[in-house]
Homo-oligomer: A and B are copies of this chain.
């Protein structure tokens, strides 16, 4: 067993299985939370992307932080704009990018946006911090004060608050000018959090299921890790809002309320892993290592 126990214990912590004499693991703490500590995600805030191979990726939108970009994403999904487009760039330890593939590395996709969908949106990089239900994490950080807002990893400084680029967060590509993004071209983080992008680009949500269908794709070998041959693309079959799907096919997700006492206990358990494996509890946790519990609604 020797070689496997290290990994086994971490799995127990993650899965919530018991392993005497373990204290409650983070997973167990979340699982034991009363139903009132969980918040269901609205069907209009869930995007279901089905790849050509049938794999499904579910994205939760963040309308409070990027209302105009989220509005465009919803409109593009309702217009079925992404259907038949592709994932055409995968850069290791950075991002997966999808949308309308550029015909060559020096130009952009040619597919027009639907009528009524603005091709340029004003920057939505941060919000006034005042009045936001910001729960501080109480940990040091190289960039700002970190914490959580309504289930999202966030940071604040100088009176502003913003979402942070943790693993699986989804953002909207833009050009040099801050008002050049539309939400038509999206990227997901598949590496160490590129926090220098915080407050420089609009984050519109996060992948809550199926990120492995993007993170395990072959890395691009062209400039900027674009694929060099369209045959390398991963096709997108459909992108739909959960609210558009038939009830029987509609995924339902919920997240642990980050303002709850349960979440506080969960964070403490994440900050200080326990024996028998851990010799030295970390005493803290990076905001992107806390991991807000998100799960399918049971039944």
Q: How far is the CB of A249 from chain B (nearest CB, A)?
A: 22
Q: Interface digits, A1-22 against B, CB 8 Å rule (1 contact, 0 not)? A: 1111111111100000000000
Q: How far is the CB of A294 from chain B (nearest CB, A)?
A: 14
Q: State which size class the interface on A falls in.
A: 35 or more
Q: Which B residues touch A133, using CB under 8 A?
A: none
B3, B119, B174, B211: the one contacting A175 at CB < 8 Å is B3
A192–B288 CA distance with the chains assembled, in angstroms = 7
Q: How far is the CB of A217 from chain B (nearest CB, A)?
A: 7
Q: A217-B216, A288-B192 are in contact. Are A185 and B3 (CB under 8 A)?
A: yes
A268–B102 CA distance with the chains assembled, in angstroms = 34
B3, B102, B192, B280: the one contacting A4 at CB < 8 Å is B102
Interface residues of A, dominant DSSP: loop
- Residue of A3, A7, A185, A283 most packed against chain B (CB within 10 A): A3
List residues of A (3-50) whose CB comes within 8 Å of B's CBs.
3-11
A158–B107 CA distance with the chains assembled, in angstroms = 54
A212–B215 CA distance with the chains assembled, in angstroms = 11
Mark the stretch among A68-76, A198-206, A230-238 that contacts chain B. Answer: A198-206
Kindly report how many copies of this chain are found in the complex they form together. Answer: 2
Q: Interface digits, A91-106 against B, CB 8 Å rule (1 contact, 0 not)? A: 0110101011010011
Q: A93-B215, A192-B289, A216-B219 are in contact. Are A125 and B175 (CB under 8 A)?
A: no
- CB pair A289 B194 closer than 8 Å: yes
List residues of A (150-176) whose CB comes within 8 Å of B's CBs.
166-168, 173-176
Q: Which B residues touch A270, using CB under 8 A?
A: 196
Closest to A282 in B: B196
- Residue of A92, A141, A218 most packed against chain B (CB within 10 A): A92
- CB pair A173 B102 closer than 8 Å: no
- CB pair A167 B93 closer than 8 Å: yes
A139: Cβ under 8 A from any B Cβ = yes
Q: A141-B140, A142-B141, A284-B143 are in contact. Are A279 and B125 (CB under 8 A)?
A: yes
Q: A1-B108, A8-B224, A175-B3 are in contact. Are A167 and B196 (CB under 8 A)?
A: no
Q: Which B residues touch A99, using CB under 8 A?
A: 3
Q: Which B residues touch A8, using CB under 8 A?
A: 224
- CB pair A215 B89 closer than 8 Å: no
Q: Which B residues touch A137, using CB under 8 A?
A: 142
8 nearest A-B residue pairs (beta carbon): A139-B142, A142-B284, A5-B175, A140-B140, A2-B175, A176-B276, A196-B282, A212-B219
15 contacts between A and B (CB under 8 A): A1-B107, A7-B173, A10-B224, A90-B216, A92-B216, A140-B140, A142-B284, A143-B286, A191-B192, A192-B192, A192-B193, A195-B282, A196-B285, A200-B280, A216-B219
